């Protein structure tokens, strides 16, 4: 049974809606598919090609074969392609944002901001592509100079999370392509459609076949294939600390370079001489942005005794103003948690706090919009 997606026709017309994997400039279907749901409604958004070892190895091969030509492409030409990609992202801002809402859940206003934020990385690195300058270093030997030039590493694998499905990708792909690297992306299974839409626009912008490839599906098989390949020279990963540790260990076998942005446990500290209005506003932004699903969001509050009661009361009053719901609804300013596992984790935190003497001042009860398939866990 096909997924019920009211925006599917529009996106197919835009040429950015894809449910296959992308290798060597071609969209293909796999033997298996997996389901992508709208976390606000439980609606089936799409059935996406489930890639594994074979598809990942094909993506790596395509990126490796495309690397020699791309690295030799003049920096000015790479810059022009990236600039076209930036313009296309902004041209499709509304469609990209709506697609993101359908699979990630954040309010449309936040999604539109993310699209612009994501595009800004491509714009920035389109300009930096022409500035990968080398150095002339003084030599200890008379009549000699040492020249240091910068060269692209090679094939880069970008593994990204679901909380910012566009921005986390462009922050990795912008510098990689600007430097002359090729690569493959492995977006989160919750949000593959946004990532694949980005690849479609890159193709429209003139990124050559094989320079960018995309697989999603069997996370372990994909990761194992990437880490085992000596052709993949660098990993850029945003995600949990535990997964980061595993990737770091596995990278050692082939001496891959790694860049990681891992989970945090951020404190929010308010002293008694603070501007409480500003402190509460900051707390709301830090705690509830993207429904709190941000690696730098606040996990712990430390409030000095003298202002504790006033701060808590002000914060509770602001929390009660939040409108939680479907991100496509105009008056909603906070979307759902991404899946049942995320929901149950928050419920466990609330239960633990209450059992240890905490007081419930606002919320505390999950708003279950639909019974979502257990495959979302």
- pLDDT tens, residue by residue, 97-125: 999 999 999 999 999 999 999 999 999 99
103 annotated active-site: no
Select which of 65, 261, 318, 347 is catalytic. Answer: 261
Contact 133, 83 (CB under 8 A): no
Contact 45, 103 (CB under 8 A): yes
User: Which domains are seen in the chain, by residue range?
Assistant: 8-262 (3.40.605.10), 266-376 (3.40.309.10)
The whole-angstrom distance between residue 35's C-alpha and the CA centroid of its chain comes to: 19
- Mean pLDDT (whole number) for 171-187: 98
What count of other Cβ atoms lies within 10 Å of the Cβ of residue 327? 26
Radius of gyration of the CA atoms of the chain, in A? 23
Model confidence at 3: pLDDT above 50 = no
Model confidence at 245: pLDDT above 50 = yes
**Of the candidates 259, 154, 167, which has an alpha carbon nearest to the alpha carbon of residue 211?**
154
Instruction: Say what the pLDDT of residue 374 is.
Output: 36
Say what percent of the chain tops pLDDT 90: 80
Model confidence at 6: pLDDT above 70 = no
Q: How far apart are CA 294 and CA 137, in angstroms?
A: 42
Partners of 217 in beta bridges: 51
Q: Computed from CA positions of residues 223, 226, 228, 232, in that sequence, does the dihedral angle turn out positive or negative?
A: negative
Instruction: Say what the pLDDT of residue 68 is.
Output: 98
The bridge status of strand 21-23 relative to strand 26-28 is antiparallel
Partners of 303 in beta bridges: 270
Band of residue 377 on the pLDDT scale cut at 50, 70, 90 = very low
> Phi first, then psi: what are they for 161, rounded to 5°?
-90, 180
Say what percent of the chain tops pLDDT 70: 94
Instruction: Say what the pLDDT of residue 212 is.
Output: 98
Instruction: Say what the pLDDT of residue 252 is.
Output: 96
**Of the candidates 322, 332, 337, 292, which has an alpha carbon nearest to the alpha carbon of residue 107?**
332
Q: What is the pLDDT of residues 70-96, one digit of tens each?
A: 999 999 999 999 999 999 999 999 999
- Mean pLDDT (whole number) for 341-370: 84
Residue 261, burial from CB neighbour count under 10 angstroms (0-12, 13-18, 19+): middle
Q: Tokens for 21, please give them.
A: 């994997």
Model confidence at 330: pLDDT above 80 = yes
pTM of the predicted structure, to 2 decimals: 0.90
Contact 227, 254 (CB under 8 A): yes
Model confidence at 235: pLDDT above 50 = yes
The whole-angstrom distance between residue 218's C-alpha and the CA centroid of its chain comes to: 18
Q: What is the pLDDT of residues 121-170, one digit of tens each?
A: 999 999 999 998 889 999 999 989 999 999 999 999 999 999 999 999 99
Q: What is the DSSP string of 36-93?
A: EE-TTT--EEEEEE-B-HHHHHHHHHHHHHHHHHHHHS-HHHHHHHHHHHHHHHHHTH
Model confidence at 288: pLDDT above 80 = yes
Residue 356, burial from CB neighbour count under 10 angstroms (0-12, 13-18, 19+): exposed
Contacts of 186 (CB under 8 A, 6+ apart): 56, 157, 158, 159, 160, 214, 215, 216, 219, 222, 223, 226
133 to 83, 86, 150, 181: CA distances (angstroms): 20, 23, 7, 16
The bridge status of strand 33-37 relative to strand 257-262 is unpaired
- Mean pLDDT (whole number) for 285-311: 91
Band of residue 369 on the pLDDT scale cut at 50, 70, 90 = low
Q: What is the pLDDT of residues 28-38, one digit of tens each?
A: 999 999 999 99
Instruction: Say what the pLDDT of residue 376 is.
Output: 42
Model confidence at 373: pLDDT above 80 = no
């Amino acid at each position: 049974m096909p997924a019920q997606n009211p925006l599917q026709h529009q996106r197919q017309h835009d040429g950015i809606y894809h449910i296959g994997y992308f290798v060597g400039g071609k969209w293909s279907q796999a033997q298996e598919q997996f389901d992508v749901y709208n976390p606000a409604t439980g609606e089936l958004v799409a059935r996406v090609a489930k890639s594994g070892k074979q598809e990942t190895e094909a993506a790596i091969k395509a990126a490796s074969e495309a690397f020699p030509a791309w690295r030799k492409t003049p920096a000015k030409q790479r810059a022009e392609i990236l600039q076209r990609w930036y313009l296309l992202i902004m041209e499709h801002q509304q469609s990209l944002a709506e697609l993101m809402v359908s699979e990630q859940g954040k309010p449309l206003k936040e999604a539109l901001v993310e699209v612009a934020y994501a595009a800004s990385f491509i714009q920035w690195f389109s300009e930096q592509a022409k500035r990968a300058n080398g150095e002339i270093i003084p030599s200890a030997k008379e009549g000699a100079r040492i020249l240091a030039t910068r060269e692209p590493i090679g094939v880069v694998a970008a593994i990204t999370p679901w909380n910012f499905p566009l921005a986390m990708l462009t922050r990795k792909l912008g510098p990689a392509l600007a430097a002359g690297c090729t690569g493959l992306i492995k977006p989160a299974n919750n949000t593959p459609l946004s990532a694949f839409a980005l690849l479609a626009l890159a193709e429209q912008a003139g990124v050559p076949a094989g320079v960018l490839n995309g697989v999603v599906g069997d996370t372990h098989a994909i990761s194992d294939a990437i880490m085992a390949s000596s052709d993949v020279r660098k990993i850029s990963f945003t995600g949990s600390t535990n997964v980061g540790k595993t990737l770091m260990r596995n990278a050692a076998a082939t001496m891959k370079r790694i860049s990681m942005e891992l989970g945090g446990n951020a404190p929010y500290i308010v002293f008694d001489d603070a501007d409480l209005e500003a402190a509460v506003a900051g707390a709301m932004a830090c705690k509830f942005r993207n429904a709190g699903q941000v690696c730098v969001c606040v996990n712990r509050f430390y409030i000095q005794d003298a202002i504790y009661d006033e701060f808590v009361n002000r914060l509770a009053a602001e929390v009660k103003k939040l409108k939680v719901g479907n991100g496509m609804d105009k008056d909603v300013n906070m979307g759902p948690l991404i899946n049942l596992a995320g929901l149950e984790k928050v419920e466990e935190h609330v239960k633990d706090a209450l059992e240890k003497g905490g007081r419930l001042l606002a919320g505390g009860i999950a708003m279950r919009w639909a019974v979502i398939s257990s495959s979302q866990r």
